[in-house]
Amino acid sequence: MIPVAFDYQRVSSVDEALGLLATHGDEAKLLAGGHSLLPLMKLRLAVPSVLVDVGRLHDLSYVRDAGDHVAIGALTRHRDLETSELLAAQVPILAHVAGQVGDPQVRHRGTIGGSLAHGDPASDLPAVVLALGGTLVARGPGGERTIEARSFFEGFLQTALGPDELLTEIRVPKATIVGAAAVRNGTTGVALVNMGSTPLRASATEAALAAGASIGDAAAVAAEGTEPSGDLNASPDFRRHLATVLVRRALEEAAS
């Protein structure tokens, strides 16, 4: 399908982008790499009247050592995450997963901020940031605020970002011993995709591990508290079973 007609505005600063969002409200959408938004527009599931192109805000593209965490600009492309020596040393799971996103074209255009702001429960990068216990930084008319990843994803394709806010940075704790979407770095974080309307923490597994359960026993309760949907690819019961299998494998890899 063809998207409905829209106006296009390319901005050269965060303040300019925020001004346009304040002016147009819900009618405006931010455009970075476009790999999340444009397919929705073609299906007319998103019908913005104004696209605000932030893709050339190069000051929001970086990977920096910030002491106890790594700071990542929201417009950092997947390929830059994949090839970052800092991430390879300090948060290797994020570099690894970024290298598995889509295909080379997607990885060279798509951004981590776009992926997170899209809020797709089937997306891998939100699950990794969630498992890591990351924090997201948003800027709006009232200034800057931080949002814990566990509070950021509110529903299917819905996040805590306001219509007048721009995601500017992602902060992830350093975690050098990792596997899949299971992170073991003093405490254990486990996240799941396609097990509900948002990326989810496997809270029952995390609690079991904290109580001293074995990997097998902790993985067996991975699906507790989740509400997977059924579709042509898998039934809810199969997704629950698959969650236990994949969590066990991830924990075993993280412990090796």
Per residue in 143-194, pLDDT (tens digit) is: 999 999 989 999 887 899 998 999 999 999 886 543 335 555 566 788 887 7
The two three-digit tokens of residue 49, written as one number = 């009247």
The number of domains in the chain is: 3
**Is 2 within the bounds of a domain?**
no
Higher pLDDT, 236 or 139: 139
125 and 186 part of one domain: no
Structural contact between residues 9 and 19, judged by C-beta atoms closer than 8 angstroms:
no
In the predicted model, what is the mean pLDDT of residues 97-125? 86
Domain boundaries, position 210 = 178-255
Per residue in 1-43, pLDDT (tens digit) is: 677 888 999 999 999 999 999 999 889 888 887 777 777 778 7
CA distance 230 to 244: 17
**Is 227 within the bounds of a domain?**
yes
114 and 142 part of one domain: yes
92 and 159 part of one domain: yes
pLDDT for position 178: 34
Per residue in 83-93, pLDDT (tens digit) is: 999 998 888 88
CATH of the domain at 190: 3.30.390.50
In the predicted model, what is the mean pLDDT of residues 130-150? 93
**Is 246 within the bounds of a domain?**
yes
**Domain end residue (candidates: 173, 195, 210):** 173
The residue whose two tokens read 């938004």 is 37
